[in-house]
Chains A and B, each alone.
Chain A
Amino acid sequence: MFVRSLQMIAGFVLFAFLAFHTAMIAEYNLPSNLLEPALSKVVDRYVVPYFGQNWSLFAPNPGGTVLAYRIRFRLVFDDHSVVVTPYVESTDVFPASQSGPFDRLSLFREISYSCSNLAENLVAKGQVPKFHATSTVDPDKIDAPTSCLARLSLAMAPAFAAQYGKPASRLLSAATQVQYLVARGEHVSAALRRGMTIEPLKYRVVATTPWLDSSDVTNFPTQIEVSRS
């Protein structure tokens, strides 16, 4: 009899917990609503960090604003020759975009998603107005993934030295410059209805970092030059 009551209580406690947990997760995920002022403190304390989540996958406007970046290298060789490469697309620096699930470089591609998500958020919040970049980019926010990106591309510099005529063993030092580009996807429904091909995206440069070598990258808080185009 005692075990039976214990079971009954445990059943109720677990069901109550399930209901509470579901309510918390739901309120966290829902857009702003009337309950938010009353609940947000409790919800945040319960949900963050372990159950924090955001399922705005491809939403609300997939591909509305596309951010890309490109990178160029300045390579110094042991005969004091200096090669400045042209800007290379992110997919050429981290060649993983056509790879299968077991490509170990695919993780490097993820950093570009992080950078682009971040910049997309900045665009969404109006910190980088649609096409015209202004100096209002919050350097703290854009610098963190950029320094991460610069470090990652510096790690790829030896591979690039080989592409530009010199063996990687003769590379003395390398620096990298990152450029962010933004494109706005055109509205496709009209074009689709007519069965037309969609214009390729037109990118504009919104921000360029100074040349960064490994010492710069370690103490990064360098302001990014933001160009007006």
Chain B
Amino acid sequence: MNRQMNAITRVLSLPATWLSEPRFLIGGSLVRICLGFIVFVFFALHISERQLLWGTHGIVTIQEFNRWFGGPQRTGFNLYTLANTQAWFEVTYWIGLIVALLFTIGCWTRITTPMFALFVWSIYHRNPWVTNGGTRLLCIVVIYLVVADLGAYLSVDASLRGARPRVSGWLSNMLHNTSILLVAIQLCCVYIFSTFYKLDGPAWQQGTGLYYALMDPQFISFPFVAALSHNVWFVTLGSYGTLLYQSAFPWLILHPRLKYPMIIVGIGFHAGIALFMGLWWFSAVLIACETVLLTDAQYIAIGTYFHTLFDRIGRGMAIGNRLLEQADA
């Protein structure tokens, strides 16, 4: 009787047991660095034309913003529309830039994380016509990450903590793991639903979708890309391959070993999109989100693997050198 009770309790507490252990702290720290860097570059690049793009007298005034985009019900809370003055705009822009920097380097991460979400959401929604791709995903993901612990590794917080062990309660761990799961689920949604839409059109069904995507005059096309796009084998296999990869992603990343090739192919795929189509920032956001898919144990295993590999290569080279020296003598 007692044993049965124990078994029931164990099953009932499965979600709690799984969620309350620290699992995705390295991935969380990597996603922080990547997203923070993307947003910091965005703020820093546009300092000189910030007035034109988002200012009170810019290409979309606050009145127009409210009229065209349907107000806060459609675009959510926005810091920039709280006051219609030049000074408020300047303050919001520069604090946004500083928060992005602090977030990237992992300074006071528990405070800068929600602030980062707020400033990211506000700048990208202030003028939705000038965003740099991947914005939709970025804005959703920063909301998920508000309660995540993103400063455990590679951060100023971690180096200040030094050798002292990281303390975190079970609730904090649970919220962190839930956030990371939300990011992973969102990433799966991107892949699975873009397959859904692609399959709706004859171009992808007939395996010519890739041709149209690569030749779209909106995107950069290098001469060799144009040449490649005229190759029947490349276009057909590439189009069907894209569909196959995108539809398989949500299922195969659940597998402890198959997730590695999926992530490697995904990173290659997005690096290709960045290089050959000029969609740099869209790809950067997607690659950033993929860093959460590996658990801490998996990151440590990868680290150990490469450490051993380099160690062996080093030892092998040392032996080789000794043999050479002996041969010389």
Cβ-defined contact, A63 with B212, below 8 A: yes
Once the chains are docked, how many angstroms separate the CA of A64 from the CA of B209? 10
Assess whether B203 is interfacial by the CB under 8 Å rule.
yes
Give 1 or 0 for each of A81-121: 1 = CB within 8 Å of chain B CB.
00000000000000001111110101110111110100000
Contacts of A195 in B (CB 8 A): 230, 232
A4-B13, A148-B59 as given contacts; A110 in contact with B130, CB under 8 Å: yes
Assess whether A164 is interfacial by the CB under 8 Å rule.
no
Contacts of B49 in A (CB 8 A): 104, 107, 155
Give 1 or 0 for each of B251-293: 1 = CB within 8 Å of chain A CB.
0000000000000000000000010001011001000000000
Assess whether A145 is interfacial by the CB under 8 Å rule.
yes
Cβ-defined contact, B196 with A30, below 8 A: yes
Assess whether B194 is interfacial by the CB under 8 Å rule.
yes
Assess whether A8 is interfacial by the CB under 8 Å rule.
yes
Stretch at the interface among B40-48, B100-108, B298-306, B309-317: B40-48
Q: Which of A7, A62, A112, A145 contacts B212 (CB 8 A)?
A: A62
Assess whether B318 is interfacial by the CB under 8 Å rule.
no
Chain B: interface residue total (CB-CB under 8 A):
78
Once the chains are docked, how many angstroms separate the CA of A148 from the CA of B212? 28
Assess whether A198 is interfacial by the CB under 8 Å rule.
yes
Once the chains are docked, how many angstroms separate the CA of A66 from the CA of B213? 12
Assess whether B110 is interfacial by the CB under 8 Å rule.
no
Contacts of A166 in B (CB 8 A): none
Assess whether A210 is interfacial by the CB under 8 Å rule.
no
Chain A's closest residue to B64 (CB) is: A144
Cβ-defined contact, B204 with A59, below 8 A: yes
Contacts of A63 in B (CB 8 A): 212-213, 215-216
Once the chains are docked, how many angstroms separate the CA of A7 from the CA of B174? 9
Contacts of A58 in B (CB 8 A): 198, 209, 212-213, 216
Contacts of A59 in B (CB 8 A): 194, 197-198, 200-201, 204, 209
Contacts of B19 in A (CB 8 A): 10-11, 14-15
Cβ-defined contact, B59 with A50, below 8 A: no
Cβ-defined contact, A25 with B15, below 8 A: no
Assess whether B193 is interfacial by the CB under 8 Å rule.
yes
Contacts of B52 in A (CB 8 A): 151-152, 155
Give 1 or 0 for each of B1-32: 1 = CB within 8 Å of chain A CB.
00000000000111111111000000000000
Assess whether A34 is interfacial by the CB under 8 Å rule.
no
Assess whether A197 is interfacial by the CB under 8 Å rule.
yes
Cβ-defined contact, B189 with A25, below 8 A: yes
Cβ-defined contact, A62 with B209, below 8 A: yes
Cβ-defined contact, B197 with A60, below 8 A: yes
Stretch at the interface among B72-80, B83-91, B154-162, B320-328: B72-80
Once the chains are docked, how many angstroms separate the CA of A116 from the CA of B217? 12
Chain A's closest residue to B17 (CB) is: A11
The 8 nearest A-B residue pairs measured at CB: A60-B201, A11-B16, A11-B15, A101-B280, A62-B212, A59-B197, A63-B212, A60-B200
- What is B's interface to A at a CB cutoff of 8 Å? 12-20, 41, 45-46, 48-49, 52-53, 58-60, 64, 68, 72-76, 127-133, 136-137, 140, 143, 170-171, 174-175, 178, 181-182, 185-186, 189-190, 193-194, 196-204, 206, 208-209, 211-213, 215-218, 220, 230, 232, 235, 274, 278, 280-281, 284
Q: A11-B18, A11-B19 are in contact. List 6 more A-B contacts (CB 8 A).
A: A7-B13, A14-B19, A25-B189, A58-B216, A102-B45, A152-B52
